[in-house]
Chains A and B, each alone.
Chain A
C-alpha cells in the first residue's frame, strides 16, 4: 500500500453531499480530495440527449446504479431468518458514480414538518406514551426545524427549486402547503406547468376540502442561475428523470449546480473509480487518520487526511463505519450501541384509476410534476384513536409513461398475449394514479449490521439489512390510502384499484430508494451515532452525511433534508470546528 501526501479533508463519495461539502470546505481554504468509487459523469458526455432517454439501458438494465457484483447487501425480514445477498437490485436502487443518487432522482425537494424533528416529544405531549407502537425506537433528531430553516433555504436556492410557498415567515400563502414550516422567502422559481391529471386532482381534492399545492420540484420550470453562478435550463417534460441523467441541464444535481465551479477550484481534486475500503484510525482509536482506497487497477492507496467526511449513500456510510470500527455497533438484543441502529424505509401506497374518457398523455411529464395534499402527513391530523404514528403526503404526479415499464392494465388482465396488448392500448393514455409517500418509524429489530457469511469483491463482509413493515405502517398506509380513494372517485375513474402498503417487505419490486438511518443523529451519544452537526460522537474528526442520520423516516422524499443537514454541518465545520479541530462540537 502506497501512502499519498496528506490532505486537509478527504470526502468519501462525490454525490450531493460530497459536492456540497467539497465546495464549502474549499471555500474555507482547505485542500480537499473526493474519492468516488463509480465513474465520472458529466451532462455533456454522459447524458447526451441522443442517448440519455434510453429506457432499456437506464430504466431496465440500471446503467447508473451500483452493480451487484461491485457491492450489494444481504436482506431478511426478521432476526431469525438467514439473510441472502440481493443479486439484482429491486426494492431500491443505490446510485453509482459522480453525482450519486442525485443523478437519477425524480427531484421531489421537501422540507420535513417541524414536528418531524421532535416527533417523540411531540407525540408524547399530544397523545401520551400509549400512541407509540411496540418495540419502537422513535427518537427526536437533536435539531429543530428552526435551526435547519436557513440551510433548507440554501439548498433550495442552490437547486432553484420550483414551487409555491405555503408559509413565509409565519404568513400562510394562498396556493402553497398550509402545513409546512415557516420559510424565510418563497421558492426560487415558480411551479412547473401542470398536466391534465393535476388539474383534475386539484379540482376534486379542493371540493373534498383538501388544500392541494404544487409539489416542490428540482425539475425547473424556468432557467435559473444559482448563487455559485451555475445556470440550469427549463424542464422540457420529457419524462426521463427517475433512473436517468437529465440531458437538458434542468434537473438539479451536483453536475448542474456545483461541479462546474468545484472542479475548477484549485483546492479540490476528485479521484473516480476509487473505492474507499476503510477509514484508518490512530493508535488510541480516538481519531481518524485518513482512508484506504483501491483504484480501478486494484492498487491500494493510503490517503491521510485531518478530516474525514463520509458522503457515500446511506447504506455504504453505515457499512464503512461498521467495518472501520467507528462508533459502537448496535446490538438488537440489548438495544445498546448506535451504528446500524434505526434502519428505516418508506411506506408508500397507490390508488390507480382507470378512466373511460380522459386522455392524460402521461408521456409528457417530469419527475416532480405533481400536486400534493398534505392533510394526512406527519401530525397534520388528529391521531387520537387511530392507533398509529406518522402519515403520508398524497401526490398526483405525471412523471413518465415510458414504453417498456408503463403498462397500466386493470387487475384480471392476462399477463401476455392479445388481451394484454389490447388492455395496454386501451389504458395507456387513460390511467392515472394517486400515490402516497409514507413515513416509516424505527424499531428495535430493524437495523443494519455486517453479514456473518457473505463478502464483497474486496473481502469485506456485506452489509446485512433486517427489515420489515410493521403494523403501525400498515395501519397508517391503509388510513391514508382510504383518504385517497374519494379523490380518485371524484376525478371520475370508472375502476379504482388501491394498493396500501402491506408487509412483508420484499426485495423484488421497486418501491423507493429512500433508505434511512444506521448512523442516526441525536442529542445523546448513548442513543445516536452523530451529533446534530453529523459529527461522530466518538471520533470528532469524522462527519457522516446523508439520510443515514435520520432517526426514522418522514412522509416525504429525503433529499431536501439531506441537503439542509449537509449545509448545516458544513457551516459548523467551517465556522466552529476548524478553529479548534479535533474537538467535539457538542459536549456529550
Chain B
C-alpha cells in the first residue's frame, strides 16, 4: 500500500478551495492563444517577476506575480502588488482598458496614482497591442489570494496625489515612435530597451525627485546599495569597447570573456534577458551601441599614481588575496573570474559597486547556458577599512584603469550599509 503524496494532497486541497471560493478561474479563451503567448514573452522582456515574485524566491507560474516583494527606493520601501487575476487582492477585476491606463499613464482603477518604482514611465512606450497581450497572459495565471500592504512609504511620499505634480515634471505618456531612418533591428532594440525592458529605470541616474536625468542617459549610478553600471558607449566607463556579440553573450548567459552579471543584474539575466530570443538580444545590443540619446562623454581621468602608498599597499593585498583568480595582470579567467583590467564596473565614478563586491562577496548569475555560477568570497571580515580602500583603489587604477581613489570612509560607509542591510 502506498500513502498519497503529501504534496499532491495539499495541492488538491488548495485547488479545491480556490474553485469553491472564487468561482471558475479566468482562463485564456482559445482564440487569444497568440496574444497570450505574446504576453508571456513580453512579461519576460519586462522582467515582471523580478519585482512581483513571491518574496520567498518562488517564481514558478503564478508565484512569479503574487507580489509582496519590498523594493528599495530612495524614498523608502515600496511593496509590489499582487498582479495575479485574483479578484480580491490581485487584478482580477481590472478591465483591459484599466490595465492599459495603469501601464500607459500610471493610474490604477479608481484614479489612484502609481509610483514610478512601477516603471510606467517606460511601459508608456509599449503599444496597446502589447499591453493587451500582457493583460491576456496575466489573466491565464492561477489567481492567488495574497493581500499586500502597499502603503509602506513614509510621509510625504505616501501621498499618491503628489505623483500628479511629479508626472507633470518628469513624465510624458506616449507610445514608442519608430525612427524611419534606422533599421528595423535598431528600432526593435530601442522599443525593448526604452519600453518593456525599462533598462533606464536602473541605468539612468535619477534627480532628487526620482526623475530620469536625461542628459546622463544610461550613465549609471548608485542603486539599492549597489551600483548600476554605465551602459553608455563610453570607452572607459560604458560599453564602448564591447562588441555587439559580447553584449549579446552577456545578456544571454550572464557571462562573457570580460564580466559576469551579479547582484541585481544577475536577477535581470536569470528572469529576463537570459530568456529573450537571440534576435531581440542582438537588437538590444545594436541599439545600445547607438542609443537615441547619447550621454555627455565622461571626462578623461588620470589614474592614481603607482607611487601612491595606497597603490603600493593595494598591490600587496591584491597579490595575496585576489591574484589567484583575477591573475596578476587583472585579466581574470574568461567566463569564470571577471577581467578587472579595463572593466567598466571597476572604473565607475562611484565606488559602491566595487566596494560591495569586495566586502560582501557576490555570486554570478545562473543561466542554463552558463550554469557554473561561481562566487567571489566576502572580504569585509578579513580586511579593515584602510585595506579595503587600498585594494579597491589599486584595482581601479592598475593596468591602465583610472578611477577616483576609494577612502577608508567609503569602505566604512559600505560596512555600515551591509550591517544594516545584509
Contacts and interface: CB of A to CB of B under 8 A. Distances in A.
Contact of A233 (B8, B333, B371): B333
A249 B364 CA distance: 14
Given A44-B363, A228-B371, A249-B336, A233 B3 contact: no
Contacts of B366: 260, 264
B368 interface: yes
B36 to A, nearest CB: 23
Nearest to A234: B333
Interface in A298-342: 304
A344 B182 CA distance: 74
B324 A231 contact: no
Contact of B382 (A6, A43, A50, A223): A50
Given A223-B333, A225-B335, A236-B324, A6 B369 contact: no
Contacts of A249: 336, 372, 374
A248 B336 CA distance: 10
Interface string A261-293: 100100000000000000000000000000000
Interface core residue of B4, B363, B371, B375 (most chain A CB under 10 Å): B371
Question: Interface residue tally of chain A, by bracket?
Answer: 20 to 34
Interface string A39-71: 000011100111000000000000000000000
A365 to B, nearest CB: 14
Contacts of A230: 371-372
Contact of B375 (A44, A223, A236): A44
Nearest to B370: A229
A229 B363 contact: no
Contacts of A34: none
Interface in A141-193: none
B379 interface: yes
B88 interface: no
B368 A229 contact: yes
Interface string A228-257: 111111101010000000011100000000
A5 B5 contact: yes
Contacts of B363: 44
Given A44-B363, A248-B325, A231 B335 contact: yes
Contacts of B61: none
Contacts of B8: 5
Given A44-B375, A50-B377, A264-B366, A233 B337 contact: yes
Contacts of A229: 368-372
Given A44-B377, A48-B377, A248-B325, A264 B337 contact: no
Contacts of B109: none
A249 B374 CA distance: 8
Nearest to A48: B377
Contacts of B2: 3, 5-6, 304
Contacts of A304: 2
Interface in B357-416: 361, 363, 366, 368-375, 377-379, 381-382
A225 to B, nearest CB: 7
Contacts of A49: 321, 324-325, 377
B111 interface: no
Contacts of B361: 44
Interface string B247-261: 000000000000000
Given A44-B377, A233-B325, A264-B366, A223 B371 contact: no
B254 to A, nearest CB: 12
B306 interface: no
A55 B321 CA distance: 18
B3 A231 contact: no
Contacts of B240: none
B147 interface: no
B225 interface: no
A43 B324 contact: no
Nearest to B5: A5
A238 B324 contact: yes
Contacts of B337: 233
Contacts of B369: 229
Contacts of B368: 229, 264
B334 interface: yes
Contacts of A260: 366, 371-373
A192 to B, nearest CB: 15
Nearest to A44: B375
B5 A223 contact: no
B335 A43 contact: no
A3 B3 contact: yes
B57 to A, nearest CB: 14
Contacts of B321: 49
Contacts of A225: 335
B374 A43 contact: yes
B384 to A, nearest CB: 14
A248 B379 contact: no
Contact of B371 (A3, A5, A236, A264): A264
A213 B408 CA distance: 51
Nearest to A226: B372
Nearest to B255: A231
B75 to A, nearest CB: 34
A5 B8 CA distance: 10
A49 B369 CA distance: 26
Given A49-B324, A50-B377, A50-B382, A261 B333 contact: no
A44 B374 CA distance: 7
Contacts of A248: 324-325
A45 B376 CA distance: 10
B143 to A, nearest CB: 24
Contacts of B336: 223, 231-233, 249
Interface in B295-348: 321, 324-325, 333-337
Nearest to A222: B333
Interface core residue of B325, B372, B382 (most chain A CB under 10 Å): B372
A228 B363 CA distance: 20
Contacts of A45: 375
Nearest to B368: A229
A559 to B, nearest CB: 21
Contacts of B371: 228-230, 260-261, 264
Nearest to A2: B3
Contacts of B373: 260
Interface core residue of A231, A247, A264 (most chain B CB under 10 Å): A231
B232 to A, nearest CB: 30
Nearest to B375: A44
Contacts of B378: 48, 50
A231 B374 CA distance: 9
Nearest to A249: B374
B325 to A, nearest CB: 6
Contacts of A44: 361, 363, 374-375, 377
A223 B325 contact: no
Interface string A198-228: 0000000000000000000000000101001
B9 to A, nearest CB: 10
Contacts of B6: 5
Contacts of A5: 2-8
Interface in B24-62: none
Contacts of B325: 49, 233, 236, 248
Contact of A231 (B372, B377, B381): B372
Given A223-B334, A236-B324, A43 B379 contact: no
A234 B324 CA distance: 9
Interface in A117-132: none
A268 to B, nearest CB: 13
Given A6-B2, A225-B335, 5 more contacts: A5-B7, A50-B377, A233-B336, A247-B324, A260-B372
6 contacts: A5-B3, A45-B375, A49-B321, A229-B370, A232-B336, A249-B372
The 3 closest A-B pairs by CB, nearest first: A44-B375, A5-B5, A236-B324
